[in-house]
């Protein structure tokens, strides 16, 4: 079976900073990582491949340096990597991104065999929209299964998949036809550490690199900035919290310490004291 | 199971490992390089100064592409007391030559570049991969390594251990002893970010010119140690290091020493208003010639910090690492081209090349220095800086006291110091330097 996993190279948000004057995100020198949510989908695809056989193709759209992330995915165990890169894609919002990715997935289908399941991350840690997976599904006319916590059964004969989906009220047990699009929930698995032979293979692997034209994209009006109705009007950093934590000295007895602690809290917010007093009077 | 066999496996992608991998790969050998960090340089800490000559011998046109910070045109040595420093500066426009001699670098960027050069010559680099065990054949010859990834060992004719001062592969395999506390210094470093124009104004620089300050004295609280301040493009690296054994005895912490150094009235204005973005600590091998372990054996060689190849007196580490890596690579290539095996007898060629190079010649010259600095630390780092400082103050302060009395004061101070062994120390240092 053929599993296609869409990944995105994102700046490591743990190390990102906002410029104090211009309020723009300072990307220079910030290390990049594979979007952490994508790794749950990648691992799930690898597990299915190991179980039923087949291939895992990872796909990303981004600048040439995004090939680092693809190579990492190969190290983890993916069989093939496709990089969609072209200056026409610069400035894409989710609408333009899903257009380009859907076209590339079609092309992957033509070139390497049609995908049975397309995986995507639940959302990214930089854009946080959670729109790309569903957008791809819509454009490819696939059933979409988001927030999947476990894949219970994959039956190639019957062309169906049974899975658990987390919803607000609980867990849904769903069955779907293939092909479909799945986004995995965080924590649904733990991404593996690639074997040494996978690492060696990844180090030497040729990454399939496609321009818009290579991917069969003809309408460039739908790509990049031109194809993106979303406009970032303003970026701002939330103001830093002015209040600092206060220390309460340890008193003679624990009761005294508690007393001092409560007093310190009430001194800061008299309204809270009134509320507590009102509540306590009920007992 | 990996069927493939490499000519050489290089452990580590620092200065020594990259030099070895580059040297071998560019001569057509099949090289695998293993790096435990996320990328080359992610685990490395150095001030750091790059010596052009040693890199030029490996990558002649490195200046075109390598991420270099500033070329050094000024060196300051500071002899420090609590409130003062007596300095010696050397600054020369000659250093603004076409092919400058020394640069400041940031290792996390530089090592990445250096590793890419080796890759461009055909070396295969696997990051986030730690070699955990040497594989030996029935005769005890090293024939490969096992890594922390599943999938079996990888085989090679020779393993180049360039795993750094604290690398575990060599010590676990008992190729070399664990460095003793008296043979390693612990250095801590902070990166202080400032706009380039501020750095240039504070250090009297223009463009890509850079300056270095190296400081010794009361800042190390009587231990053998040295502080440093290096100018990068948009940051200042500031740090201090002392022997681990001294730290253990003194109960002071490296962070505290660095704090004292940063707050020193001569230093504070240089870093005022900066933003600290990085704090790092690393061990530096300082055992000198006498601490250098066996550097070759059946199927293995040791390069760089792992072999204690560091000149503490001249503060040269990376160029000894680079050169030892290059020589290991050249020796292995020579043996390979003669179609001989990588046994101990043949690999002794590497040691011979090191003996003939500045690497071991320099270390031999200063073989008595580490012990001397260690045993006379109190005098060298506390008493003498104060004597010098007092003499300077005496000479410069105008307070109506007759000059003849001032001179007598200074002379008296120095005579008193004879009791501490001033003359003996001077003699011992001269001898260790010879």
What would the two tokens of residue A5 be? 């996993």
Residue B225 and residue B376: Cα distance in Å, rounded? 12
Query: Is it true that domain B182-285 has CATH number 3.40.50.720?
Result: no
pLDDT attached to residue A23: 66
Class of residue B167 by CB neighbours under 10 A (exposed 0-12, middle 13-18, buried 19+): buried
| CB-nearest partner of A196 from B38, B125, B152 | B152
Using one digit for the tens of pLDDT, what is the confidence trace for A61-83? 999 999 999 999 999 999 999 99
Asked if the model's pLDDT at residue B417 lies above 80, the reply is no
Q: Is B208 helix (H, G, I), strand (E, B) or coil?
A: coil
Range B343-371 average pLDDT: 92
Nearest-Å Rg of the Cα atoms of chain A is: 24
Q: How many CB atoms lie within 10 A of CB A7?
A: 28
B352: left (phi over 0), alpha (psi -120 to 50) or beta: alpha
Residue B128 and residue B93: Cα distance in Å, rounded? 44
Q: Is B145 helix (H, G, I), strand (E, B) or coil?
A: strand
Residue A225 and residue A86: Cα distance in Å, rounded? 12
Instruction: State which H helix or E strand residue A97 sits in.
Output: helix A94-112
pLDDT-based confidence at B330, cuts 50/70/90?
very high
Of A81, A85, A122, the closest CA to residue A100 belongs to A85
What would the two tokens of residue B91 be? 């600054």
Owner of token pair 């070699």: B131
Residue B272 and residue B292: Cα distance in Å, rounded? 41
pLDDT-based confidence at B420, cuts 50/70/90?
low
Pairing of strands B235-243, B102-104: unpaired
d(CA B149, nearest CA chain A) in Å: 5
Do the Cβ atoms of B126 and A200 come within 8 Å?
yes
Residue B24 and residue A157: Cα distance in Å, rounded? 53
Q: What are phi and psi of A61, to 5 degrees?
A: -115, 135
β-sheet with A80-84: strand ranges across:
A170-177, A160-167, A143-155, A180-184, A117-121, A2-6, A55-61, A80-84, A208-210
Of A67, A110, A87, the closest CA to residue A206 belongs to A67
| CB-nearest partner of A197 from B32, B125, B151 | B151
pLDDT attached to residue B1: 66
Structural domain spans, chain B = 5-68+105-179+290-365, 182-285, 370-433
DSSP letters spanning A191-209: PPPPPHHHHHHHHHPPPEE
Q: Is A13 helix (H, G, I), strand (E, B) or coil?
A: helix
Range B402-418 average pLDDT: 81
Do the Cβ atoms of B149 and A203 come within 8 Å?
no
Which residue spans of chain A are classified as CATH 3.40.50.620? 2-227
pLDDT attached to residue A22: 66
**Helices A270-281, A254-268: inter-axial angle, 10-degree rounding:** 120
Residue B301 and residue B371: Cα distance in Å, rounded? 27
d(CA A199, nearest CA chain B) in Å: 7
| CB-nearest partner of B124 from A31, A197, A203 | A203
d(CA B150, nearest CA chain A) in Å: 5
Do the Cβ atoms of A194 and B149 come within 8 Å?
yes
What would the two tokens of residue B306 be? 């792992």
Do the Cβ atoms of A196 and B4 come within 8 Å?
no
**Which of the two residues, B11 and B398, has the higher pLDDT score?**
B11
Structural contact between residues B234 and B195, judged by C-beta atoms closer than 8 angstroms? yes
Q: Establish if B147 touches chain A: CB-CB under 8 angstroms.
A: yes
Do the Cβ atoms of A195 and B147 come within 8 Å?
no
* pLDDT tens per residue across all 283 residues of chain A: 999 999 999 988 777 777 666 666 676 667 889 999 999 999 999 999 999 999 999 999 999 999 999 999 999 999 999 999 999 999 899 999 999 999 999 999 999 999 999 999 999 998 889 999 999 999 999 999 999 999 999 999 999 999 999 988 899 999 999 999 999 999 999 999 999 999 999 999 999 999 999 999 988 999 998 999 998 888 777 777 777 777 888 888 999 999 999 998 888 888 888 888 888 876 6
Query: Is it true that domain B5-68+105-179+290-365 has CATH number 3.90.870.20?
Result: no
Could you tell me the sign of the dihedral formed by the alpha carbons of B251, B254, B259, B264, in that order? positive
Q: Establish if B50 touches chain A: CB-CB under 8 angstroms.
A: no
Structural contact between residues B350 and B328, judged by C-beta atoms closer than 8 angstroms? yes
CATH homologous superfamily for A2-227? HUPs (3.40.50.620)
Lowest mean pLDDT among B41-55, B291-305, B348-362, B389-403: B389-403
Residue B129 and residue B363: Cα distance in Å, rounded? 32
Q: Establish if B4 touches chain A: CB-CB under 8 angstroms.
A: yes
- Whether omega for the bond prior to residue A179 falls within 30 degrees of 0, making it cis, is yes
Do the Cβ atoms of A199 and B2 come within 8 Å?
no
pLDDT-based confidence at B189, cuts 50/70/90?
very high
Q: How many CB atoms lie within 10 A of CB B7?
A: 19
**Which of the two residues, B63 and B370, has the higher pLDDT score?**
B63
What are the CA-CA distances from residue B112 to residues A32, A230, B50, B162, B283 (Å)?
14, 37, 15, 16, 21
Asked if the model's pLDDT at residue B299 lies above 90, the reply is yes
pLDDT attached to residue B408: 86
Pairing of strands A55-61, A80-84: parallel
Using one digit for the tens of pLDDT, what is the confidence trace for B64-82? 999 999 999 999 999 999 9
Helices marked H in B121-217 — which ranges? 168-172, 196-202
Range B343-370 average pLDDT: 92
Give the bridge partners for A2, in sequence order: A55
Q: Which residues in A have their CB inside 8 Å of a CB on B?
A: 31, 75, 193-200, 203-204
Minimal-distance CA residue of chain A relative to B31: A200
pLDDT-based confidence at B238, cuts 50/70/90?
very high
Q: What are phi and psi of A138, to 5 degrees?
A: -60, -45
Owner of token pair 């360039």: B162
Do the Cβ atoms of B124 and A196 come within 8 Å?
no
pLDDT attached to residue B5: 95
pLDDT attached to residue A195: 95
Of B54, B103, B60, B62, the closest CA to residue B322 belongs to B54
**Which of the two residues, A205 and B428, has the higher pLDDT score?**
A205
Residue A117 and residue A145: Cα distance in Å, rounded? 10
Using one digit for the tens of pLDDT, what is the confidence trace for B105-158? 999 899 999 999 999 999 999 999 999 999 999 999 999 999 999 998 999 999
Residue B44 and residue B106: Cα distance in Å, rounded? 10
Asked if the model's pLDDT at residue B383 lies above 90, the reply is no
Q: What are phi and psi of A3, to 5 degrees?
A: -115, 125
Do the Cβ atoms of B149 and A199 come within 8 Å?
yes
pLDDT-based confidence at B433, cuts 50/70/90?
low
- Note the Cα B349 to chain centre separation in Å: 25
pLDDT attached to residue A84: 97
Residues of A in contact with B126 (CB under 8 A): 75, 196, 199-200, 203
Considering only the C-alpha atoms of chain B, give the largest distance between any 2 of them, rounded to a whole number of Å. Answer: 86
């Amino acid at each position: 079976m053929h599993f296609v996993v869409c990944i995105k190279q994102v700046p490591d948000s743990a190390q990102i900073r906002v410029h104090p004057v211009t309020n723009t995100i300072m990307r220079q020198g910030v290390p990049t990582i594979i979007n952490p949510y994508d790794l749950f989908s990648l691992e799930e695809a690898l597990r299915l491949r190991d179980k039923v056989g087949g291939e895992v193709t990872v796909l990303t759209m981004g600048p040439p340096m995004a090939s680092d992330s693809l190579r990492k995915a190969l190290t983890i165990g993916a069989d093939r990597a496709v990089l969609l890169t072209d200056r026409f894609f610069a400035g894409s919002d989710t609408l333009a991104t899903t257009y380009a990715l859907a076209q590339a997935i079609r092309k992957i289908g033509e070139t390497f065999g049609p995908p049975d399941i397309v995986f995507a991350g639940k959302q990214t840690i930089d854009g946080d929209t959670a729109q790309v997976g569903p957008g791809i599904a819509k454009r490819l006319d696939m059933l979409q299964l988001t927030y999947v916590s476990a894949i219970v059964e994959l039956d190639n004969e019957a062309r169906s998949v049974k899975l658990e989906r987390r919803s607000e009220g609980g867990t849904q047990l769903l069955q779907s036809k293939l092909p479909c699009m799945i986004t995995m929930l965080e924590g649904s698995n733990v991404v593996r550490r690639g074997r040494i032979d996978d690492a060696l293979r990844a180090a030497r692997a040729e990454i399939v690199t496609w321009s818009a034209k290579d991917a069969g994209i003809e309408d460039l009006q739908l790509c990049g900035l031109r194809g993106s109705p979303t406009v970032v009007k303003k970026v701002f950093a939330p103001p830093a919290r002015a209040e600092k934590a206060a220390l309460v000295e340890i008193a003679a007895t624990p009761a005294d310490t508690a007393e001092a602690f409560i007093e310190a809290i009430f001194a800061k917010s008299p309204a809270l004291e009134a509320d507590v007093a009102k509540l306590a009077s009920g007992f | 199971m990996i069927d493939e066999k490499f000519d050489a496996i290089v452990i580590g992608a620092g200065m020594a490992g990259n030099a070895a991998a580059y040297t071998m790969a560019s001569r057509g050998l099949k090289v695998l390089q293993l790096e435990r960090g996320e990328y080359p340089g992610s685990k490395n800490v150095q001030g750091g100064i790059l010596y052009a000559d040693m890199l030029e011998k490996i990558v002649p046109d490195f200046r075109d592409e390598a991420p270099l910070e500033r070329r050094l045109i000024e060196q300051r040595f500071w002899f420090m007391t609590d409130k003062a420093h007596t300095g010696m500066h050397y600054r020369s426009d000659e250093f603004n030559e076409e092919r400058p001699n020394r640069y400041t670098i940031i290792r996390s960027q530089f090592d990445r570049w250096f590793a890419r050069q080796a890759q461009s010559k055909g070396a295969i680099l696997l990051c986030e991969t730690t070699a955990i065990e040497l594989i030996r054949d029935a005769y005890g010859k090293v024939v490969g390594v096992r890594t922390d990834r599943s999938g079996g060992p990888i085989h090679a004719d020779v393993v180049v251990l360039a795993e750094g001062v604290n690398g575990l592969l060599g010590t676990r395999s008992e190729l070399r002893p664990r460095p003793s506390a008296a043979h390693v210094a612990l250095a801590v470093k902070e990166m202080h970010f400032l706009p380039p124009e501020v750095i240039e104004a504070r250090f009297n620089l223009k463009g890509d010119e850079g300056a270095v300050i190296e400081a010794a004295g009361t800042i190390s609280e009587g231990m053998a140690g040295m502080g440093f301040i290096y100018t990068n493009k948009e940051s200042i690296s500031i740090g201090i290091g002392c022997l681990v054994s001294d730290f253990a005895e003194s109960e002071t912490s490296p962070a505290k020493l660095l704090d004292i150094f940063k707050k020193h009235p001569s230093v504070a204005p240089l870093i005022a208003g900066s933003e600290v973005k990085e704090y790092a600590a690393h061990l530096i091998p300082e055992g000198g010639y006498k601490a250098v372990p066996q550097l070759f054996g059946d199927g293995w060689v040791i390069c760089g910090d792992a072999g204690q190849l560091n000149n503490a007196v001249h503060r040269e580490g990376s160029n000894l690492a680079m050169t030892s890596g290059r020589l290991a690579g050249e020796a292995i290539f020579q043996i390979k081209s003669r179609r001989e095996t990588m046994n101990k007898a043949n690999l002794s060629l590497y040691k011979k090349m090191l003996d003939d190079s500045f690497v071991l010649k320099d270390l031999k010259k200063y073989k008595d220095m580490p012990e001397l600095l260690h045993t006379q630390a109190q005098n060298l780092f506390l008493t003498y800086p104060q004597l010098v400082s007092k003499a300077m103050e005496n000479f410069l302060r105008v307070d109506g006291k007759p000059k003849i009395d001032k001179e007598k004061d200074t002379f008296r101070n120095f005579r008193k110091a004879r009791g501490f062994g001033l003359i003996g120390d001077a003699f011992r240092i001269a001898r260790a330097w010879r």
